[in-house]
Structure 1
Amino acid sequence: MQAMLSVRRFFCTGSLLLLAGAGVARAQDSAAVQPWQIIPPPQSSLVLARDGSLIGEIGREWRTSISLASLPRYVHGAFVAVEDRRFYQHDGVDVVGIASAIRDNLLGASRGASTITQQLVGNMHPTIIDRSDRSISRKVREQLAAREMEKRYTKQQILEAYLNQIHFGRNWYGIESAARHYFGKAAADLSIAEAASLAALPKGPAIYDPIRYPDRNKNRRDAILGLMAEQGYITREQAQAARREPVRVAPNAGMSVAAPYFVDAVRQTLERAGLPVDAGGLRITTTIDPVLQRAAESALTEGIRGIEAQRGYRHSTPRTAPRDASNWLQGAVVAMDPATGDVRALIGGRDYATAPFNRATNGQRQPGSTFKPIVYARALMDSMPPTAIVPDTAITIAYDAQVYQPKNADGEFLGPITLRTALTRSRNPVAVTLWQREGADSVIALAQRMGIASPIAPFPASAIGASVVRPVELVAAFTAFANYGRAVEPRVVLRVQDPVGRTLWGQGTQLRAPAMDSAVAFVAVQMMRDAVDRGTGNAVRRFLPPEVQVAGKTGTTDDNTDVWFVGMTPNLVAGVWLGFDRPRTITPGAAGGGLAAPIFGTMLARWGAASPLAWPEPSNIVRAEMDRDTGDLAEPTTPAERRYTETFVAGTEPGALRVDARRFFLTYGPLPGM
């Protein structure tokens, strides 16, 4: 009793002012923020998927402030019950609690006696009141500030500020953010048990984390439920019922899908647009499709793990070297809607926490043979039909005192073949020959019109992908094929709204000027369909039903350091890249068809929204039944296995079709005067 009376006298006399005065004077001046002031804490901006579900937040501290009036009484009651049971009686400093704490400490039971008001002072003004400082002077200054705060603000204002300020672990601040990410709901919708689980966290967010340590959290939660019942915030029956509930947290931290690389791309877009995204409080509706994003993530993760599990794989993995992330195999995926440019999925690496560099938007890698369709499109524009016979033979090109001799991955040459077969089987000498025939400048100009901004060297090796590109720009360039000649700029943001719902900004669809005629684009797509159905991208077909039309092209760079697949359906264009940040051989014999194409196919199969529809055919397309081997019109004697229907840009079809007068009249109508 004597000890308690002594403590009471200590904190109620002028000696407190004597101890604290010098510290207060040093900590602040008349122009500075005072430690008793309640200041609005920083907010984060919510990043939403196209369906309105949460996919992330932008801000140093993830926080959304709410009003105390929006919460059920038991929600804030849980915090008062465990943190400061005499909150509504004291003046900012709980003298009774301090005396009890001293007594318990003397008896060997260590505990603190900081009130909610004192905690708020320290958490809101850490540069003035450093709560890690255990000195008596800091404690006295904190108490002075708490008492001053109580004089200037109501209990409701202080409690509201406290609930919006405190840290709940994992960069989640304030009760709204904690409720959203731990339990997938607003704080106003928390159950009694969930409120008590959150009230367990201020004492030790890492210790009582309900995601990592649900049993620890439940033990403390149940104790808090007892305190809530004792203090009248809930009934004993409610406490007993709440104790029977298991600790159930929301999957994906309360988000429909975690997409940190995509959120980074959103932040960069808004910063370039001059929006104050770091100021917080914005609602950003994006283009991402959570179902497709989840499908892309699982396909990429499983694909990479499958490669690492192959016999003879010699590189570091998270299992063999968990701290060696810079040497792990990486991957990137970009998927776009070719009509609007909406980026429906984006992954910039295998794990954002260990390697946040966004390879999808910022990585620069050689595309290998995925560049070839641009070369072939230029040849189609120059009136070469897909049935033109081209030589797959050894060639030697001298330039800039160098000699270049392109070879095929299989070490063989097929001799004279059709243009379609050359693309289907990815023959390197043919692509280089076409580059030389059409001219480097014209091919590069076409690539630029399609949206490739990265410099392309005017050397023959660029025909087979020796010049680096960013994955997002290569995928965007392929939208020109799917979109009948017009590429579309990638779009990641649909609209940005302020806290009251007013639209501040939005990205519109930005179609580029036509890069090629619609018929050229259509024929190129049909040739790339063959590359999937019969060629190097055939692995895609293992995952998709035959009625789903898929076109695409594989890519593999020298020494098997980068592997690609860029493909499309009538409603999606997507690309997959695999490689190391410091280029090295993935595995001997690694190829885009064997490693990247299956990831693309798996992603589309899990998405489940690949369209079974065909690409609409432009009016200036001519079809004919052809002999696959000779490139000539099929004859009655042509074997069935060699027959197929070819598409031509009108005017490049076989001569026998062009002189058909009946077809001429059907196409162009009678001549004037007839």
Structure 2
Amino acid sequence: MAKTSQKKQQGYFRYIKWFWILFGAGVLAVILVFLLASWGAFGEMPTFERLENPETNLATEFISSDGETLGKLYLDDNRTPIAYENLPENLVNALVATEDARYYDHSGIDARGTLRALVFLGSKGGASTISQQLARQLFVGIRAKNWTKYTQKIKEWVIATRLERNYTKEEIIAMYLNIYDFGYNADGIRSAARIYFGKEPAELRTEESAVLVGMLKNSSLYNPMRREELVLNRRNTVLGQMAKYGYITETEKDSLQALEMKINFNPESHREGLATYFRMYMQKFLNVWVDQNPKPDGEKWNIYLDGLKVYTTVDSRMQRNAEEAVQEHMKNLQAEFFHQNTPDRNPTAPFLDLETFEIDNIMERAMKTSPRWRAMSREGKSEKEIRASFKQKAEMTVFDWNSDSFEKDTIMTPMDSIRYYKTFLRTAMMSMEPQTGHVKAWVGGIDYKHFQYDNVIQGARQAGSTFKPFVYAAAIDQLRYSPCYTLPDNQYCIEPGKHGNLEAWCPKNSDGKYSGENMTLKSALANSVNTITAQLIDRVGPGSVVSMAKNMGLDRDILEVPAIALGTPEFNVYEMVGAYGTFANQGVYVKPVMVTRIEDKNGTVLYEYTPETKDVLSKDVAYAMVNLMEGVTQYGSGGRLRHTYGKNQAMYKEIITGYPYELTNPIAGKTGTTQNQSDGWFMGMVPNLVTGVWVGGEERSIHFSRLAYGQGASMALPIWALYMKKNYANEEIGVSRDAFEVPEEMSINIDCSKESQDNQDDLDTDDDLDDLDF
């Protein structure tokens, strides 16, 4: 019996021995597997340096002067990381409750979760911790299949533990939320909050955070833009998890689950969103900047990946007001243009006054410069094949003012689409603070997605009567004329040979009539009297006017001939706003500024702007010009800003229903209309804001047939008025309602009250009244 008992005891110890041997071997095997993984046996592992500085693609961010994100610049990843401190508590709680309930208790690997997953083969939940999921996102990649998934899981474990040693729990959460792709260009939590809810992450409500956390399981499957009911159920699951782990009460859970899921979708792309034209200009600006400003190591900054922060001068509130004003007016103006250019009314629509061969030439040129022609040429297609493709009908999406999305699906030939887009009137608008040169709003067209030509700064159009103030400024500056100085409104000719004239130049007034009366300069400019302007340029000479214009930023080749007095030179809106800013800034020209500074992703300042200024006019001359242009809005072509009509109101009562602006504060400005109404301008100023607006067709042969609709006061001025009303509705923006500052030493007489009173009723010209209210 004793021997039997001894044998049993020896057998027992043998089992114990083998258990510990096998257990030790298992532990050593696990350690060996982890060592092999860390040595790269299962694939490349991140170095310590990469763990310290994980590489992610970061979008360049354009930030407005009021601290809002205007947009981003990126190739594939629309990512702007934010710190843990900027994450709402409800988002963090939802994440931990749903993805890793014991997150704060483990060091990268959840032992309980791992055992549960092994025992139940994953049927009762996986074992991936937040740290492991971050490891996969940063260094491992998409989920592998077959046996590779096991080696991938080991790599995740190793990297997760390393991440836990290198970063705090809070930093890991922030990194994970910043790296995740939520779909629809929503790379990272900040983009996701902006795109799906139109707000910053810190502003997310609990139910909104639950939606985004729910998407972490599979952002393609659980996407609110694709599967609303599925996402709603997933959101409620997340809320249930938050209640389970005590982050919210059962009562809160029930009330939150009962809420509708409200998505405020704000897609972010280069062709959509706020300030699209401005952002595309900034892309060109940065391309030049990075060429001239390399990194300390000599490498070139990547504007799509390096996470630059570009602080701009644009005010997001004013930019939004500008875009809304353009949209409101241009939609109505376009409807009238379509009404007047039906095939019955205009067989050559949208072109006017052109022969068939001239229209064919325009269409031929447009075809050869189109993206389709260039793309097919690169593909090696013959000209015959390319031309044939322009005659084949195809499905396409085109711009349409009458659609909620401003788009409609249709079928037409590419050549017909070219003609269709020619029918749309284009516009440009820029607004600037004259004292600093800071550009506050920039609208380059009616819709960047379909009209990518930026009319603010690309190309140029004839300035029309908006050039006349430079003629008046030269006369006041050199001859010391005052706004009260009078000249006769008679036909006036400049003889051949004088001022470089090849033949006699005898300009007519817009209505072809001459009053024969003496007019003050203030009244003459207010009513755009050409004969007075001709007399002034004859007295000072075209050279003086050109020199002054160039000093005020209109630095183009301008022919020094008398005809420039009526606005034959071509400029863009950017140049004109900068030049007019000289008048509002007491004679000092400040070059328009769009960027105040640029920082790298760590906040290091890489660039700060230096103002470019030039003294052009004395303060009294500048103020005299402001006083002159105030007459335009008091009793001239800009009088509709005041809701005034003059003595002929009864005569026009059937076609004028009233201008809805009723602005009462001091405003200086000038309208401009070019030959055949091809271009309509309005330049408007208050003490701390100068804004220029241009409206016209892509081709100069695309225009209204009547001055009533085609003048600057009808095409461009309403945009300025709507924009200013919106600005004034928000007192926080701070647009001035005050009078322009009068210099202490004013040597030029501006008291022309009697002359102005005599002209109060001088409004019966086409340029003032003969239009319809849109």
| TM alignment of 1:279-290, pairs within 5 A | 280-281=306-307, 284-290=310-316
Q: Which runs of 5+ in 1 are unaligned?
A: 1-12, 105-110, 630-639, 645-674
Change (3 A) 1:451 1:175: same
- Indicate if the aligned counterparts of 1:565 and 1:575 stay in contact, CA closer than 8 A: yes
Change (3 A) 1:72 1:337: closer
Q: Which residue of 2 aligns with 1:520?
A: 621
1:414 Cα offset (Å): 4.2
Q: Deviations over 1:397-424 (max 9, x none)?
A: 7678788765544344445553433322
CA contact (8 A) 2:463 2:569 kept: yes
* Matched residue SS, 2:717: helix
Shift of 1:49: 3.4
Distance 1:484 1:68 in 2: 48
> Contact 2:491 / 2:507 at 8 angstroms: preserved in 1?
no
Separation of aligned partners in 2, 1:101 and 1:536: 81
Could you say what secondary structure the match of 2:208 adopts?
helix
Structure 1 residues 243-252 or 482-491, which shifts more?
243-252
- More moved, 33-42 vs 378-387: 33-42
Residue deviations 1:107-138, cap 9 Å, x none? xxxx999997887577547xx9578xx98698
CA contact (8 A) 1:532 1:538 kept: yes
What is residue 770 of structure 2 aligned with on the other side?
none
Shift of 1:483: 1.9
Change (3 A) 1:573 1:140: same
Q: Report the TM-score, using the length of structure 1 for normalisation.
A: 0.73
Letter in 2 for 1:519: D
Moved more, 306-315 or 340-349: 306-315
Contact between 1:262 and 1:346, CA under 8 Å: does it hold in 2?
yes
Q: 1:209 to 1:465 in 2, by over 3 A?
A: farther
- Residue of 291, 316, 320 corresponding to 1:294: 320
In the alignment, the residues of structure 1 paired with residue 102 and residue 701 of structure 2 have an alpha-carbon distance, to the nearest angstrom, of 65
**Identity of aligned pairs, percent?**
29
Could you tell me how far 1:350 is from its partner in structure 2?
Answer: 2.3
Q: What corresponds to 1:378 in structure 2? A: 474
Q: 1:260-294, CA deviations, whole angstroms, 9 ceiling, x for partnerless residues? A: 43444555556655565836555554433344333
- Over 3 Å counting, the alpha-carbon distance change for 1:168 and 1:359 in structure 2 is farther
- Distance in 1 (CA, whole Å) between partners of 2:726 and 2:561 is 40
- What does residue 5 of structure 1 align with? none
Matched, 1:606 2:764: no
- The answer to whether the Cα contact below 8 Å between 2:306 and 2:601 also exists between their aligned partners in 1 is no
Q: Aligned pair 1:440/2:536, yes or no?
A: no
Identify if the C-alpha distance between structure 1 residues 277 and 326 changes in structure 2 by more than 3 Å, giving closer, same or farther: farther
State the SS of the aligned residue for 1:382: helix
Q: Which residue of 2 aligns with 1:532?
A: 633
2:566 pairs with 1:551:
no
Q: Secondary structure at the match of 2:749?
A: strand
Alignment of 1:577-592 (within 5 A): 577-589=694-706, 590-592=710-712
Letter aligned with residue 368 of structure 1: G
Question: How far 1:455 sits from its partner (Å)?
Answer: 2.9
| CA deviation string 1:198-243 (max 9, x = no partner) | 1233566577665898766434312332355457765544432321
1:464 offset after TM fit, Å? 2.5
Distance 1:308 1:546, change over 3 A: closer
Q: Is the aligned partner of 1:222 residue 2:219?
A: no
Contact kept? 1:340, 1:510, Cα under 8 Å: no
Q: Alpha-carbon deviation of 1:302?
A: 0.6
Q: Is the 8 A contact 1:626 1:643 kept in 2?
A: no
2:587 equivalent in structure 1:
485
* Contact 1:559/1:585 (<8 A) preserved: no
1:661 corresponds to:
none
Pair 469,29 (structure 1): closer, same or farther in 2 beyond 3 Å: farther
Are the aligned partners of 1:335 and 1:572 in contact in 2 as well (CA < 8 Å)? yes
For the pair 1:243 / 2:257, whether they are aligned, the reply is: yes
Alignment of 1:262-661 (within 5 A): 262-265=278-281, 278=303, 280-281=306-307, 284-310=310-336, 311-312=339-340, 317-319=400-402, 322=408, 327=422, 328-383=424-479, 384-386=481-483, 387-393=485-491, 395=493, 406-415=507-516, 417-418=518-519, 419-432=521-534, 434-496=536-598, 504-513=606-615, 515-542=616-643, 547-589=664-706, 590-608=710-728, 609-617=735-743, 618-625=745-752, 628=755, 641=758
Alignment-mate amino acid for residue 319 of structure 1: N
Matched residue, 2:768: none
Q: Which amino acid aligns with 2:634?
A: D
Give unpaired runs (5+ residues) of structure 2: 1-28, 294-300, 343-349, 351-398, 410-416, 644-659, 729-734, 762-774
Provide the rounded CA distance (Å) in 2 between the counterparts of 1:550 and 1:500. Answer: 44
Distance 1:70 1:293 in 2: 26
Query: Using a 3 Å threshold, how does the CA distance of structure 1 residues 427 and 251 change in structure 2: closer, same or farther?
Result: farther
With over 3 angstroms needed to count, the CA separation of the structure-2 counterparts of 1:460 and 1:351, relative to structure 1, is same
Q: What amino acid is aligned across from residue 595 of structure 1 in structure 2?
A: M
User: Residue type of the partner of 2:444?
Assistant: G
The change in CA–CA distance for 1:510 and 1:295 in structure 2 (over 3 A counts) is: same
For residues 416 and 166 of structure 1, do their structure 2 counterparts lie closer, same or farther at Cα, with a shift above 3 Å needed?
same
Residue pair 1:360, 1:471 contacting (<8 A) in 2 also: yes
Change (3 A) 1:391 1:71: closer
- 1:657 is matched with which residue? none
Q: How many residue pairs are counted as aligned between the two chains?
A: 601
Deviation at 1:194, TM superposition (A): 2.0
Where 2:695 maps in the other structure, the secondary structure is: strand
Give, in whole Å, the separation in 2 of the partners of 1:139 and 1:36: 22
Residues 683 and 690, structure 2, Cα contact 8 Å, conserved in 1 = yes
